[in-house]
Every structure is written in C-alpha cells, then in structure tokens.
Amino acid sequence: MPNLRRPHAHLWAVAVLTAIAVFALAVPMLTGADPRLTDFAAAYQGPSSSHWFGTDPAGRDLFVRTAAGLRVSLVIAAVCAVTSAVLGLAVGVAAGALGGWVDRTVMRLVDGINALPHLLLGIVIVALYPGNLAAIVASIALTHWTQVARIARAEVRAARSATYIEAARLSGATRTRVTVTHLVPAAAGQGIVAVILLLPHAIWHESTLSFLGLGLPPDQASLGTLLQDARAAVLTGAWWTLLFPAAALVITTLAVAAAGAALRDRITPPLPERAIR
C-alpha cells in the first residue's frame, strides 16, 4: 500500500516557514522602518511600488507593519507554547511517575479544562487583567498545557515499565534520579512535537484576543491588532488591510501545523499493516 502522506509536504512546510521567518525577522531590521510611524497624507493607499502592502488608515506602511506584527505574534506564540510545555511537562511527568491519586486528580483536572472552550477561559482571564501581557500568555498557557501533559504522562508511563528503569532502580538509584535521567528524556521527544503543534493554537488565540480588543493595545502591531484595524478599514473598500495580515496568519498557521505534523510522523513509528484475511 503506497504511503498516503505526501513525503514532500514537510519540505514545502519548511520552505514556507523559512520564507516567513525571513519576512518577519529580516524586514524590520533591514528597512529600519518604524511600524508605528504614521503619515496621514499617505493614508488608505492600495498596494503600490512605494508601499508594497499599501497603507492603513493612519498612513502606516503595511508591509513593515505586517512583518512586525507577524514577528510579535510569533514571539508571543512561542512564549506561550514554551510556558505551556514547561507546565505540561512538569505536571505530566509528575502524574505519570507518581501515579495513584496524584495521577487521578491531574487527569480529572485535564478533562475539566479540556471540556471548557479555550477562548472563553482566555477571554475571562484577560478581561480581569486588562492590558497585561503576562495575562495574555497565562490565558493561553493555562488552557493548552493539557495537551503536553497528556503526552508526557503517556510517555512516562510507557517508559516506567521498561526494563532499563527496573535496572536503574535495582542498582540503587532514587526515584527522583530515575525520573530525571530516564523519564524526562523519554517524554521530551514527543514534548517537542507537542510544542510545535501548540504554536498554531497560540497564534490563533492571541490574534483573536487582540482582534476583540482584549489582547495587545491597538497601536502595538500584532496580527490580531492589524486585523482589528482592518475591520473598520474594509468598510471603506481598503481590502489590502485585510488581505495581507490575514494571509500571513493563515499561511503561518498552516505551515507550522504541517511542519509539526511531519515531525510527529517521523518520530512516531508507523502502524503495522492490516493483515490480509
């Protein structure tokens, strides 16, 4: 049976991601332009040779602003993902290693958090701490750590029954030592994949919050705030204010998700073939 997953998908994803990274990181540095620089004389202009992505209602160049926004969104997403991962890894490994009532309580908590819609939790947390960047990160981390925790716990439990753990224990290693030197690396591989797969969710989450006015302040460029600007601008026909940030958001999300999925497929051993009857 031929491999149904296109083997070259991950190459495309990596290529797109590289292009995105260049765009997000290099553009602001190279042009030196300030994304907040307003120029009301040039407001509401469509894409042109001087403004590749056009300008927004305040005359800010959208090419630079989109690049800056993309970078901000990515950075925040990365911070959220790492925070989620650390939290999830810690809790997951503890639950898997300690077992018993700790494990049960943790799984109950995980189920509870998973049942609630993430964005709702995010909105509530951010509402109570308006304008606080840490709150934004927390709102995403507190809802997404469960995915990492689940994977970490599963890996730890699988590794626990492995014989090399028994050997280590028998040779006198303490529980903590066994946990740190053996179980954490076992969970790390899957953990990294989980972190990468968290990034699209984090980008989604932050951009939605910023769009609703609950995230970053409007003059701070992020994909969400840019789209918030676009909301009013498109009513006057300024379609470019929507196209470029939206395209950046969707393409980035898809590329990261594809790369993460490809990585996961490489790490996870393929399922055995179905036997012929």
Q: Which residues bind other proteins (CB under 8 A)?
A: 1-2, 115-120, 123-130, 132, 200, 204, 207-208, 211-214, 227, 230-231, 234-235, 237, 239, 242, 246, 249-250, 253-254, 257, 273, 276-277
Q: Choose between 89 and 106: whose C-beta lies nearer to other proteins.
A: 106
Concatenating the DSSP letter of every residue in 79-130 gives HHHHHHHHHHHHHHHHHHHH-HHHHHHHHHHHHHHHHS-HHHHHHHHHHHST
Q: Choose between 26 and 120: whose C-beta lies nearer to other proteins.
A: 120
Q: How far is the CB of 111 from other proteins (least distance, A)?
A: 10
Contact 80/206 with Cβ under 8 angstroms? Answer: yes
Q: Choose between 63 and 211: whose C-beta lies nearer to other proteins.
A: 211
Q: How far is the CB of 116 from other proteins (least distance, A)?
A: 6
Region for 126 from its dihedrals, namely left if φ exceeds 0, alpha if ψ lies in -120 to 50, beta otherwise: alpha
The DSSP letter of residue 214 is S
Q: Choose between 152 and 255: whose C-beta lies nearer to other proteins.
A: 255
Residues 6+ apart with CB under 8 A from 151: 88, 92, 187, 190, 191, 193, 194
Q: How far is the CB of 138 from other proteins (least distance, A)?
A: 11
Q: Choose between 37 and 254: whose C-beta lies nearer to other proteins.
A: 254
Q: How far is the CB of 97 from other proteins (least distance, A)?
A: 28
Q: How far is the CB of 212 from other proteins (least distance, A)?
A: 5
* Alpha-carbon distance values, 228 to 14, 81, 112, 170 (Å): 29, 24, 32, 60
